[in-house]
């Protein structure tokens, strides 16, 4: 038996950055929906999250999420690694910062963390 091929190394380029921003905006739009029930909220948000993030959000009441709407386009921030992306997404309560990760060049981005603006809980 031969070992599976190693994943392709990711690149940091405009296409990768645009994909990260797109995923972050979709995740924040799914996250900031206080009017949906918890089961629907988690079911629709989960495919955009890493397994660890999915576990962290189990039991979340969407009505307790401070943000209720995305108010503008996301923007990528500098990242020290091609495996990570930081994206800021503006909402009605301020800018959320999302950390995204991927396993290799052919893997899609997934959200690791969604961090509320300073002073927002």
Q: What is the pLDDT of residues 52-72, one digit of tens each?
A: 999 999 999 999 999 999 999
Q: Do β-strands 75-77 and 94-101 pair in parallel, antiparallel, or remain unpaired?
A: unpaired
Provide the strand spans (E) within 1-121: 75-77, 84-91, 94-101, 110-115
Which positions ≥6 away from 89 have C-beta within 8 Å? 24, 25, 28, 70, 74, 95, 96, 98
Q: Is the confidence at residue 95, as pLDDT, over 90?
A: yes
The tokens for 31 are 């996250």
**Domain total of the chain:** 1
Range of the domain at 30: 14-115
In a domain, 7, yes or no: no
In a domain, 58, yes or no: yes
In a domain, 41, yes or no: yes
Residue 1: predicted pLDDT: 67
Give the CATH number, domain containing residue 34: 3.10.450
Q: pTM of the predicted model, to two decimals? A: 0.90
In a domain, 4, yes or no: no
Kindly indicate the confidence band of residue 12, based on its pLDDT and cuts at 50, 70 and 90.
confident
In a domain, 73, yes or no: yes
In a domain, 8, yes or no: no
């Amino acid at each position: 038996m031969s070992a599976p091929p190693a994943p392709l190394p990711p690149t940091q380029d405009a296409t990768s950055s645009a994909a990260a921003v797109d995923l972050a905006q979709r995740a924040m739009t799914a996250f900031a929906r206080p009017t949906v029930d918890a089961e629907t909220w988690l079911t629709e948000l989960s495919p955009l999250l890493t397994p660890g993030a999915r576990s962290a959000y189990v039991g979340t009441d969407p009505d307790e999420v401070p943000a209720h709407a995305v108010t503008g386009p996301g923007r990528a921030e500098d990242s020290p690694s091609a495996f990570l992306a930081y994206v800021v997404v503006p909402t009605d309560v301020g800018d959320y910062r999302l950390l995204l990760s991927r396993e290799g060049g052919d893997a899609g981005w997934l959200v690791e963390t969604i961090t509320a603006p300073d002073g927002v809980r």
